[in-house]
Amino acid sequence: MKLVEPTLMGFPLRGLQLIEASAGTGKTWTIANLVLRLLLEQGLPIEQILVVTYTKAATAELRERLRLRLAEARDWLYHGDSTDPVGRVLLKRLPAGEARFRALTRLDYALRGFDEAAIFTIHGFCQRVLGDVALEAGVPFEQALLTDDSGLLLELIADSWRRLVHDVHPLLLQWLLDHHITPYTLLRTLRSYIGQPWLQVAAPEAGELEASWQRLAQHYQHCRALWQAEADTITALLASPALKKNVYREDWCRLWLGKMDAWLRPEQAHQQALFDKAERLAQDSLSASCKAGSEAPVHAFFIAWQDLLMEQKSMLIALEQRYQHVLAALYRHCQAALPARKETEGVLSYDDLLNRLAQALEGPAAEFLRQRVRQRFPAALIDEFQDTDPVQYRIFRHLYGDDDAVAWLVGDPKQAIYSFRGADVFTYLQARHDAGQQHSLGVNHRSDEALVSAVNQLFARPQPFLLPGIVFQPVDAARRGPSALHGGAQHAAPLQWRLLPANGTALSKEEASRHSAQHAASEMVRLLSDPAVMLEGRRLHGGDMAVLVPSHRQGSLMAEALRERGVPCVQQATHNVFLTEEAVELRNLLAAVLQPNRQSALSAALCCPWLGLDGAELWQLRETPEHWEQQVEDFNRYHQLWREQGFLPMARQLLDERAVAEHLLRLQDGERRLTNVLHLLELTQAESHVHLGMDSLYRWFCDQTLQPEGGQDEALIRLESDAQRVRIVTIHASKGLEYPVVFCPFAWDGKLLQRHEQDVLSCRDEAGVATLYLGAPAAARARAESERFAEQLRLLYVALTRARHRCYLYWGWVKDAGRAALSWLLHGMATSLPEHLMMTEALDQAGWQALLQAWQARMDGHMHWQLADDVSQARWQAELSTPQVEVARFGRHLRSQWQMSSFTALTRNLSAAYIELPDHDGRTQPLPVESEVPASGMFAFPKGARPGTFLHSLFEQIDFCAPRLAWQPVVRTLLAGQGYEAHWEPVLLDMLQATLLQPLDEAGGCLAQVTQRERLVELEFTFPLPALSMPQLAALLARPELGLPEPCRQVLGQLNHQAAAGYLKGYVDLICRINNRFYVIDYKSNWLGGRAEDYVPQRLSHAIAHEHYYLQYLLYTLALHRYLQQRLPGYQYEEHMGGVRYLFLRGTATGQPGCGVYADLPSLAMIDALDHFFAGVQA
């Protein structure tokens, strides 16, 4: 059933239904109107209508479109008038009166509470459900979301690799080394298949190696003995006149024999690769290359050599089979072990969210979960469902697959192009079969009528998408009449074809790529320069055009061609910034800063375009010692700056002194380059907090340029400003977008399976089951090629449907053009891929040209082709104009500041960016001391925020009641993970033991007697914070009857600023119970001096006052007081509160009782006064 406006508002809202939405037919519009119907007809609140899509960007767009649609509907009903077809239906159904009033009320509630709208990504939905029913689903209540689990997967693979190389057969080990198999290559091979439980594994049986090797060794010894005994005879036979000299030239024979002699020289058989043309010395090859009427040379060596080659081939097959068998075992191990590892570490990946929910919906609590979700979300709309996979469909089938459900699956199988992300179009086809009702959207609202007609005709062939389940239904066009784009072509056809010129032979892909990019760029210059080309009454500009490319490499080629002609462009890439030229250049620059005295490193750095030196200047530097020494001195200075102040100060000074921005912006693509440079510097600075030390950070950077970590949104290339620039976009990234004019300069490019994909691939088996083949047989490769070709056809459909007014396609007699998706539509006669490849193989330039002429004749003026032989090098001259601007006027009143606050913000007046994490001594500075003595033990332990965090981690992870020996693994792991040297281990163990034994109360109670059940780590608290002034708080604390220690009262005058209203948030290091009293414990790493005397109570009191820690522990005590009031029956402050103990760890490590321990028990009057103060009650 075709859905248009009237039928959309009429069909029943019941059951699982499927809506197929061809490109440009208003999929989002349909979803918005279905939500509107559910609100008004079913009376569902907005938070009970589940809308799921597949990306965060799509979620944001959908949220905004839904909000606008509901606002429009409210306006229709309020004013009683609408020109929208849906609005007219609503007004007819809801005449003025009670019904319309109820509808307006529902829309008002929906808009006011729209922030609660249940619009999620698929992973966000799964995370929400698992969080709500964690107990029933059998998942931990709190688990961190891991956006990229490649690191954990690499650890598993590396562990398995170590076991493999230890236990594997030596022959296979050598084969692995020869083929450069490493944990990284295994990760690349298996990564995209991990987390897909629907894949069954097909791998060959392990090949027999030992017997094959014994046979090979025998053949080797036989050949070696024959060669050593009869080398002269064998050499003479190869010079026989009976052999064809174009095959057995004398110099070639000498070369082969020399290489064979070297290969047979070792006494024992080996695995060294054979030399090229080794088969020429086999008896069959000699017989096949014999002149007519002559007898081929015959010798036992030639026969033995042939047997050797055959046996070696058999052994290589056995080795490959053994490797594939090992690979299958590794895959199964990772599939099982990776979720277990993540569960152990308390993290979940995106795949885990899906798999966990699917498993829960098939487990003992399935019915409860289904009812719980259906109760919360009685209706569901699943957008972009063509990008689903078997696990996702299992989830929604369990939740909404019955007849009583209210659910829609919305998608388009013709646009299923994300198989590399795990999307499975066959699952969509199964869902379409299961759906009770099926609909399709039949009107294209994007493109001109003529362009819609051209695309309809192009796909009007049997099996247009190769797979029998995907059909093409022609659509109507909403845009009728003349196009808004005028001029710019000899023929106004919306589908413009350009045929690449060829001179008697098929073009190579490199030639075709270069010519297509150059011609498309010159065509864009012509369009931009022609005053007759008008779009909606104005001149065309670069932002009206897009170039769709299959790969980033082709995008870079296109960008280069445009920049050569002065056309501004932006490559809207989604690839990793570490794969750019700027990353390599920065790597060279860092190497020179790291080793400034190494001449080769410094030379490579000075060649960097960032520094603006040309060849002559570089030569002059090398030839002038004093100039070269100046460069060495400069880079030594950068080295020292990096070592002493950190990466970013060094990078900033280098950029400023070397005028990097000015040099880069002079280049054609300077803005792009500068954007990448700044992005790389930012990422490197962020990583410097993890990879401590110059060498460690440099090694990390080198690893990223060779093998970037997957899944890092932070490392995706950022866009430079793109106003009025030609957009260069991959076809995958263009899905869902539209442009007035589209160029597809590489439509002739056809690729099926690459060589590295042929052994490890996934496709459907003969029974239609998704299968991962490790060592794919020929039949599996053929099926995989057909599936790949079918997806290329869907990619072509996406590319052809992005244009609103005109689309340029480039075609030609190019190598492997028959493998391009467009050839399937152009040729249009084959019924299978093998048949198509065979038929198109015979086509030459004239054949392809004849096909284009035939298509042009049948398309009623909607298509025009011409030869792309007019490449111009003309540059585009932009018309400069000065826009009229005026100063914007700010017309609204800003509300007073409201934010989350903390102890740090209260005492230092910092912004909210610094206040939502545990303190961990992040802002402490050493207090001045009267004298310095050589530091040792904990007094010598590093100072600063990072060591403070490290020491906190120690106390958080150890069991206080465990023996010292049990702490060693924790200490060692943390030392290694944080980059500290191993010699600190005994020092830290002594410190832990001494600190835990420090007496904290009059009875000698200590932390060593606190069990895990008696401690609460990093207690987080939040409570309302009224607008207050710090002087008011200072005045309160200064009241003598409240008992604040005198050193603290003396510094209260420093609290003199206005604090923001909002909430107060904090983290208490430790709450513990000792001898039935509750204590606030805080660990401090502050360095107060190198002697035990520096940590006596009097010195600690000054430190507490200096850092305003008294306010911190008063807040912590208040938080604990409020906590115990709610949690502890019969709670009394005087009876149950033990007070605060601030443990200065460098002092407690001495083991002297009381050393490093600051103790206080705030009075109940103090806590009550603070309680009233923060509640906004004035005393």
For the stretch 15-50, pLDDT in tens is 889 999 999 998 999 999 999 999 999 999 999 999
**434 plus 354 within the same structural domain:** yes
- pLDDT one-digit tens code per residue, 48-90: 999 999 888 788 889 999 999 999 999 998 888 888 888 888 8
d(CA 453, CA 173): 60
Query: Would you tell me the crossing angle of helices 581-594 and 625-645 to the nearest 10 degrees?
Result: 90
- pLDDT one-digit tens code per residue, 520-545: 999 999 999 998 899 988 999 999 99
**One-letter amino acid of 388:** T
Q: And the tokens for 1012?
A: 């895990």
Annotated binding site: 21-28, 952, 1069, 1082
Q: Which pLDDT score, from 0 to 100, does residue 515 have?
A: 96
Helix (H) or strand (E) holding 92: helix 85-93
Contact 413, 426 (CB under 8 A): no
Helix (H) or strand (E) holding 200: strand 200-202
Contact 1041, 1164 (CB under 8 A): no
Contact 1066, 1111 (CB under 8 A): no
- pLDDT one-digit tens code per residue, 1092-1135: 999 998 889 988 988 889 999 999 999 999 999 989 999 999 99
**226 plus 305 within the same structural domain:** yes
**588 plus 520 within the same structural domain:** no
Tracing tokens 């089979």 back to the chain, one arrives at 321
**Residues in contact with 1144: Cβ distance below 8 Å, sequence separation at least 6, in sequence order:** 1084, 1086, 1088, 1095, 1100, 1103, 1156, 1157, 1158
**Is 110 part of any domain?**
no
Is the pLDDT reported for residue 922 higher than 50? no
Q: Which residue in 752, 907, 922, 712 sits closest to 837, CA to CA?
A: 752
Q: Is this prediction's pTM over 0.75?
A: no
pLDDT above 70 covers what percent of the chain? 92
CATH of the domain at 1110: 3.90.320.10
d(CA 695, CA 961): 39
Q: And the tokens for 316?
A: 């290589």
Contact 926, 1088 (CB under 8 A): yes
Contact 945, 1085 (CB under 8 A): no
Instruction: Tell me how far CA of residue 38 lies from CA of 34, 63, 106, in angstroms.
Output: 6, 16, 11
- pLDDT one-digit tens code per residue, 99-152: 888 888 889 889 988 888 999 999 889 888 888 887 777 777 777 888 788 888
**Is 722 part of any domain?**
no
End-to-end CA gap in the chain: 73
**Is 518 part of any domain?**
yes
**391 plus 485 within the same structural domain:** no
Q: What is the mean pLDDT of the chain?
A: 86
**215 plus 336 within the same structural domain:** yes
**One-letter amino acid of 1116:** Y
State the Cα torsion 796-801-805-809 to the nearest 10°: 0
SS3 call for 1072: strand
d(CA 1155, CA 1145): 9
Q: Which pLDDT score, from 0 to 100, does residue 575 have?
A: 62
**956 plus 846 within the same structural domain:** no
CATH of the domain at 601: 1.10.486.10
Annotated binding site for ATP: 21-28
**Residues in contact with 1165: Cβ distance below 8 Å, sequence separation at least 6, in sequence order:** 1041, 1042, 1043
Contact 1080, 1068 (CB under 8 A): yes
Q: Which pLDDT score, from 0 to 100, does residue 7 have?
A: 66
Residues in the chain, overall count? 1179
Total number of domains constituting the chain: 5
State the Cα torsion 242-243-249-253 to the nearest 10°: -110
**130 plus 254 within the same structural domain:** no
Q: Which pLDDT score, from 0 to 100, does residue 882 have?
A: 56
pLDDT above 90 covers what percent of the chain? 46
Tracing tokens 């369009």 back to the chain, one arrives at 527
Domain final residue pick, 414, 441, 468:
441
d(CA 971, CA 983): 11
Q: Mean per-residue pLDDT for 238-250?
A: 90
Count Cα atoms within 13 angstroms, Cβ side, for 592. 25
Beta pairing partners, 1079? 1072, 1139
**222 plus 338 within the same structural domain:** yes
**Is 642 part of any domain?**
yes
Is the pLDDT reported for residue 186 higher than 80? yes
Beta pairing partners, 1070? 1017, 1081
**Is 468 part of any domain?**
no
**Is 155 part of any domain?**
yes
d(CA 410, CA 58): 14
d(CA 461, CA 811): 19
Is the pLDDT reported for residue 909 higher than 70? no
Question: How, if at all, do strands 495-499 and 863-867 pair?
Answer: parallel
Q: Mean per-residue pLDDT for 220-244?
A: 92
**354 plus 342 within the same structural domain:** no
Q: Which pLDDT score, from 0 to 100, does residue 4 have?
A: 46
Q: Which pLDDT score, from 0 to 100, does residue 299 have?
A: 93
**982 plus 1055 within the same structural domain:** yes
The CA-CA-CA angle for residues 1089, 1094, 1097, to 5°, reads 145
Instruction: Tell me how far CA of residue 836 lies from CA of 259, 509, 791, 828, in angstroms.
Output: 44, 20, 16, 9
Q: Which pLDDT score, from 0 to 100, does residue 929 have?
A: 43
Alpha helices in 719-828 (DSSP H): 731-734, 778-800, 821-827
Contact 424, 388 (CB under 8 A): yes
**792 plus 910 within the same structural domain:** no
Q: Which residue in 699, 725, 749, 403 sits closest to 554, CA to CA?
A: 749
Tracing tokens 């009057």 back to the chain, one arrives at 1165
**Is 216 part of any domain?**
yes
**265 plus 377 within the same structural domain:** no
d(CA 684, CA 587): 11
Is the pLDDT reported for residue 914 higher than 80? no
Contact 748, 817 (CB under 8 A): yes
SS3 call for 506: coil
SS3 call for 1070: strand
Domain of 164, in residue numbers: 150-346
Q: Which pLDDT score, from 0 to 100, does residue 1146 have?
A: 94
**Is 996 part of any domain?**
yes
d(CA 465, CA 429): 13
Helix (H) or strand (E) holding 1068: strand 1061-1074
Q: Which residue in 1137, 1024, 1030 sits closest to 1077, CA to CA?
A: 1137
- pLDDT one-digit tens code per residue, 1035-1069: 889 999 999 998 898 888 777 655 556 778 888 99
Torsional class of 1101: left (φ above 0), alpha (ψ -120 to 50), beta (otherwise): alpha
DSSP 273: P
- pLDDT one-digit tens code per residue, 401-423: 888 889 999 999 999 998 888 88
Specify whether 1082 is catalytic: yes
1163 by Cβ neighbours in 10 Å (0-12 / 13-18 / 19+) ranks as middle
Catalytic residue among 919, 1082, 1094, 1160: 1082
CA–chain centroid gap for 49, Å, is 29
**Per-residue buried b or exposed e for 1104-1123, using 16+ beta carbons within 10 Å of the residue's own CB:** bbbbbbbbbbbbbbbbbbeb
Domain final residue pick, 314, 346, 378:
346
Q: Which pLDDT score, from 0 to 100, does residue 911 have?
A: 33
Q: Which residue in 2, 72, 78, 3 sits closest to 32, CA to CA?
A: 72
Q: Which residue in 687, 490, 674 sits closest to 580, CA to CA?
A: 674
Contact 443, 476 (CB under 8 A): yes
Helix, strand, coil percent content, the chain, rounded in steps of 5: 55, 15, 35
Annotated binding site for Mg(2+): 952, 1069, 1082
Domain final residue pick, 867, 892, 925:
867
**Residues in contact with 963: Cβ distance below 8 Å, sequence separation at least 6, in sequence order:** none
Is the pLDDT reported for residue 948 higher than 70? yes
CATH of the domain at 830: 3.40.50.300
